[in-house]
Amino acid sequence: MVYDSSLMKDQARFLTQPQETLRAMRGRELYETLGSLGLNHTHYFRALGTNVQDYCAQEFGIDLGRITVERFFQSDPGAKWLFPDVVREAVVAGMTRKPAYPRLIIRDEHISSVAYDVPYVEENDANEELRHVAEGAAIPESEITYGDRVVKLEKLGRGVIASYEVIRRMSVDMLRVHLQRIGENLGRNLDARLAAVLVNGDNSGAGTAAAVLNTHTANTWAYRDLVAGFNKLTLEHYFTPTHMLANAETLEAILDLDEIKDSALFDFAKTGNLPTPLGVNLVPMADQPANQITILDAQYAVQKLTEQDLLVESDKLINQQWDRTYLTVVTDFAIIYAKARIVLNSAWQA
């Protein structure tokens, strides 16, 4: 979907109509109108100040917590047109709730193509330094570069295989539970992609790889290594460390450090709340590269780019054809400030 100004005006015009006008539109008419504007029922519910559960109760007399999928389709001719977004929003809830990536990115920006020219700044000390400027002399400049770093987005997808006979007696609420879990697994895939991009750089070229700092002792983690990484990002790169990513094995090593186990500082042993070494949020990341810790400033390091939000095969769902339903999204991550993260590496040879 191309996000041009005329479309955005049409969207705003539709969503800001009086609530009685919006409520008068329902069923197929509403479904097709939202589709033509690049909107979904979530936008519609937000404009009404309601949610899917309350809307179904008010418009169709449906309690999503109790009604089965079969009774949902039998309840009202207009109800079935809502079902694709019931599915979509359940998956989206899973994709954004449990995975770590939403709190590790600057923003999720919608773009109009699968190839995106990334605006960025090449920082170096000589160009960034403020200097005394004599009358009439040239002022030092920082340049925002555009056009020679192209990130190409990929389509990611997953199929849901289930016949209508399998799900028709299931409650809509329980179906949403299963769909949320599918969304969580899709979100983990995005976490894995983000972890790789933060270490190796995005697909625009090798110039976006992270700076690597070896531990003081090969194949060993020590508290001083965390301090060294913190200092490098803070004092050399002049960014504020906000998050520290580690896989399961590395996380165990960090949590076993005497400084981290100190119960006067952290209460992980009692509460399960992860410690915050040096005030930095420790984030378990299953697919973080082994023997490496990524320390980043989430306000500057990486941006998520989305050409297509989560798409479901709506026609199949409306017509109760569930044998194979596919969920797809076109997205990827782009490095914005390469120096806004560093990688600590313990796998080196003395």
Which amino acid type is present at position 111?
I
The confidence score (pLDDT) of residue 147 equals 59
Distances in Å between the Cα of 72 and the Cα atoms of 56, 78, 195 are: 10, 10, 41
The confidence score (pLDDT) of residue 144 equals 64
The confidence score (pLDDT) of residue 134 equals 56
The confidence score (pLDDT) of residue 293 equals 98
Which amino acid type is present at position 300?
Y
Instruction: Report the distance separating Cα 277 and Cα 289, nearest Å.
Output: 20
Mean pLDDT, rounded, of the chain: 88
Domains and CATH numbers, the chain: 88-123+145-350 (3.90.1690.10)
**Count of beta carbons in the 10 Å neighbourhood of residue 292:** 20
Q: Which of 82, 81, 80 is nearest to 90 (CA)?
A: 82
Instruction: Report the distance separating Cα 334 and Cα 142, nearest Å.
Output: 21
Per-residue pLDDT tens digits for 255-295: 999 999 887 778 887 788 899 999 999 999 999 999 999 99
Q: Which residues are CB-contacts of 86 (< 8 A; sequence separation ≥ 6)?
A: 52, 64, 172, 176
The confidence score (pLDDT) of residue 1 equals 41
Per-residue pLDDT tens digits for 39-87: 888 899 999 999 888 999 998 988 988 899 999 989 988 888 998 888 8
The confidence score (pLDDT) of residue 118 equals 87
pTM for the whole structure: 0.85
The confidence score (pLDDT) of residue 337 equals 93
For residue 304, give both structure tokens.
Answer: 């998520």
The confidence score (pLDDT) of residue 136 equals 57
Counting as low any pLDDT under 50, the low residues of the chain are 1-2
